Structure 1
């Protein structure tokens, strides 16, 4: 529980505005700051079902009512130290922040854009919904934050992604009316996160919303211009400020008349948008506010919009011819680990590309992507060494349960998993390994964690230094 007085911490201008906005609910809103914050995680359903997750998770979880694959967990638990987290089976995310991605109806095979994606909470949710089919473009303008985004995309095992570090203006010029679905979780004043981050509350000023709304209006127009006819755009913020919420949506409706607000799913605690907080358009009531005095979470705002017209799924693809030497060494490695599928799908050799001895598996999509600043174009499979192929950690995490036969699977409570994640050599009993020697995929409860080489009963750790716990 917080040890400060909320009225001392928060700006009087903020409190006055919230009182005008909430009326009789204001006192309940203020009291919500006295309650302990909530902690949540979202299951990666591209890798594991919620039913199976509940069977193997070693700490208590409770379903989040409005998130199909979301769970609360106690504040004294540290889920990031659990091997299931390192296997990419769940993402740690504040419950209300999970809501926007869960409300965007993604269909496998679509082109999806997360425009302001770092550190990856919403992008990983969208990528999991694609389940290996179609394309996810996860973009952020900050190069430092994009590195964290890439790590989370790789941890979640999303093979069909471009991770880009571009200005939205440049993306708009390269991808006019390209995406079926777009999520714009815009930079905002963060009023919904005050209970979580004191610094946001202390730094708040009335002018901040004015400044940010200018940026948000620019971003939402750029997002709309990248949306295909018939496509859907979900705009969200983690603030209560009307100028950043209904005000920005009003601006879009006025400047892009082909964009129409559509209904969001209804859940207990969701508060409708207020037309008077925007330009008075009655359709603004289709927006949704999440207030902490009405739900077990912090604060968020959402608006779902559709561009008039018709959209179709991706058509046929064409690829460059794979490098024959690359295929030779990859096939030998695949035979050694008994690879059957990648992400539950047949391996497509036409999607393999070699760049300076590094091997990539490209997303199933065509287009001219030259000139874009990428941190990653597709899945990094590994490196071609002298007369061999060395697999990468992202490749291991892109594999699903039962994708390969050459595995060593340990219980979630086996202490050797913690030692593996620290980079240590392990002792493996003969009955635990698929083969007597060579490359194996180390798994937790059958779910891939990383690669290693077995020599007798010694498992030589290949978990990369930059990933170690």
Structure 2
């Protein structure tokens, strides 16, 4: 095994007390193995599946399928025709907190949307009246728009704006805000992708501060009884449990929602309902996820997207 860096060792010891688990985690990052590809069916499935399927997870929605290795769904003609969207099962795990929502969802804002997987999952599951996909980084808009258009995700809007503008323009209006927060991307290593500096304290703290600002702005647009789904693809507690604890202290009207099917993945680093998947489990590269509900009662504000700073880049 390649020798892990001191920063990786330090994080590993914070995450796991068991030496065997520490070694498995480090090995998953240093010697990455392929994970089963996964798809979201955006249209009705063909009567005969074009893929060899892997074993499904008990809670897996019927529009999600895990495929056997070495299936390459992105090269299948149905992909170009918009029948499905390809993603890592870690993303399905993170988005699956939405299965705990048991009320109609009219408006969804995907605050950090590109390339679109979490928003498409939410659209497929909750069937909202409108999916608003925001991406603040201009060079990431093309991929987001392409995926929404190819998969016929409608009605949907794409906006290119800072989260603070949403807080100013459409307060208390969204039934669900998805925050797939910008992070250090530590789980990229489990996919065999380099992520320089991802374990450095300065990178982690920078990400955590940005995440807190985004979730604080997002909290202001959540309607009474609405939800925030927070998720990252990082392992460090500063970007995950500590952000959630800070958020609940700063916004006491929100509560963490228990997600029963994820109970085996409850984070041992906090008593808050937060869930983690690690790469050594063999399902995906890893992710962190939590669902919060605004417990306030009151009127939902009208979502007025006209004549505001929230200029639409693309609509479908």
User: TM over 0.5, yes or no?
Assistant: yes
Distance 1:126 1:314, change over 3 A: farther
Give the secondary-structure state (helix, strand or coil) at the position aligned to 2:191.
Answer: coil
The Cα of 1:229 is off from its aligned counterpart by 1.1
Give the secondary-structure state (helix, strand or coil) at the position aligned to 2:231.
Answer: strand
Alignment partner of 2:81 out of 77, 81, 87? 87
Distance 1:58 1:274, change over 3 A: same
Alignment partner of 1:61 out of 39, 46, 53? 53
Is 1:126 the counterpart of 2:118? The answer is no
Is 1:250 the counterpart of 2:235? The answer is no
Distance 1:80 1:108, change over 3 A: farther
Alignment partner of 1:36 out of 30, 33, 36? 33
TM-score, normalised by the number of residues in structure 1: 0.61
The Cα of 1:172 is off from its aligned counterpart by 1.4
Q: Which whole-Å deviations, capped at 9, do the CAs of 1:126-162 have from their partners, x for residues lacking one?
A: 222343x411110010111111111111112112111
Give the secondary-structure state (helix, strand or coil) at the position aligned to 1:228.
Answer: strand
Give the secondary-structure state (helix, strand or coil) at the position aligned to 1:217.
Answer: helix
Alignment partner of 1:178 out of 173, 198, 219? 173
Matches within 5 A, 1:435-450: none
Is 1:117 the counterpart of 2:113? The answer is yes
Partner of 2:97: 103
Q: Which whole-Å deviations, capped at 9, do the CAs of 1:361-385 have from their partners, x for residues lacking one?
A: xxxx7653543232213x2xxxxxx
The Cα of 1:309 is off from its aligned counterpart by 2.2
Distance 1:224 1:273, change over 3 A: farther
Distance 2:274 2:312 in 1: 34
The Cα of 1:57 is off from its aligned counterpart by 2.9
Alignment partner of 1:373 out of 305, 311, 316? 311
Distance 1:40 1:210, change over 3 A: same
TM-score, normalised by the number of residues in structure 2: 0.88
Distance 2:93 2:106 in 1: 20
Alignment partner of 1:15 out of 6, 9, 12? 9
Alignment partner of 1:193 out of 166, 188, 193? 188
Partner of 2:274: 287
Is 1:142 the counterpart of 2:137? The answer is yes
Contact 1:44 1:125 (C-alpha < 8 Å) held by counterparts: no
Partner of 1:307: 294
The Cα of 1:75 is off from its aligned counterpart by 4.3
Distance 1:152 1:163 in 2: 11
Distance 1:214 1:35 in 2: 29
Matches within 5 A, 1:320-331: none
Distance 1:58 1:367, change over 3 A: closer
Distance 2:276 2:186 in 1: 12
Contact 2:7 2:199 (C-alpha < 8 Å) held by counterparts: no
The Cα of 1:312 is off from its aligned counterpart by 7.7
Matches within 5 A, 1:382-397: none
The Cα of 1:109 is off from its aligned counterpart by 5.1
Partner of 1:236: 231
Distance 1:254 1:314 in 2: 25
- Indicate the structure whose relative CO is greater, using CA pairs within 8 Å and at least 6 residues apart: 2
Q: Which whole-Å deviations, capped at 9, do the CAs of 1:170-224 have from their partners, x for residues lacking one?
A: 1211110110011101001112221214321565422211111111111110111
Give the secondary-structure state (helix, strand or coil) at the position aligned to 2:94.
Answer: helix
Distance 1:35 1:200, change over 3 A: closer
| Long gaps (5+) in structure 1 | 276-281, 316-364, 380-469
Distance 1:64 1:143, change over 3 A: farther
| Long gaps (5+) in structure 2 | none
Considering fraction of residues, name the structure with more strand.
Answer: 1
Distance 1:23 1:201 in 2: 26
Distance 1:219 1:371 in 2: 17
Is 1:206 the counterpart of 2:213? The answer is no
Give the secondary-structure state (helix, strand or coil) at the position aligned to 1:23.
Answer: coil
Larger radius of gyration: 1
Distance 1:151 1:273, change over 3 A: farther
